[in-house]
Amino acid sequence: MNFEQARFNMIEQQIRPWNVLDAGVLDLLGSVRREDFVPAAYRNLAFMDMEIPLPCGQNMLAPKVEARLLQELAVRKDEWVLEIGAGSGFMAALLGHRAAAVQTLELHEELVAMARANLQRAGMGNVTVEHADGATDVRRGEFDVIVLSGSVAEVPQHLLQRLKPGGRLAAIVGDEPVMRAQLITRVTADDFVTRDLFDTVATRLEHFPEPSRFQF
């Protein structure tokens, strides 16, 4: 398989048409080897418009979703980033190229090991992978950017409170068949602004609260 041609096709046929026009993001997607973060069995699918299966019932987000979130977050070189759901480490690698440092949390030990190995091989020295439950165990600090690399029914307040003023949180919120990617900005200590980005569907992050569903 010609990975370079597949990468070019992914950018031109999937990502640009999804309004990802930031030259820095496009250059990054052209240089970070997505195929190195995909399990060997799915390597030939690395650039397809789909979620890629990972161990432990998890998935990599589709390439155009990763790209659009990266563009909307507009991460700067002096910013500290928290990711919930490391998966294979690919989104953390993209974030690491744009940020001062990235801390990514992963619930499953097998994925922690995978993400650490992938990120080390990619030379991402400013990204750390921690074995932790991002739904409940965000241990320290405030962040300029928080990314939920999976879907949730709603964004927990305890994560919003970890944003610095001016900080941004990106998440895919809602229930199938339609979820919505949102960008939430902390304007002041008490004020948040939410902007809807696009509709999509993504695998659930585990252990985040689900709303009660009453049946009549």
CB 126, CB 99: distance < 8 Å: yes
Instruction: List, for residues 152-180, the tens digit of each pLDDT value.
Output: 999 999 999 999 999 999 999 999 998 99
Q: Is 3-200 a CATH 3.40.50.150 domain?
A: yes
Which pLDDT score is estimated for 76? Answer: 98
User: Domain boundaries in the chain?
Assistant: 3-200
Residue 173 φ then ψ, to 5°: -120, 140
* Among candidate residues 154, 137, 152, 26, the one with its CA nearest the CA of residue 82: 137
pTM of the model: 0.95
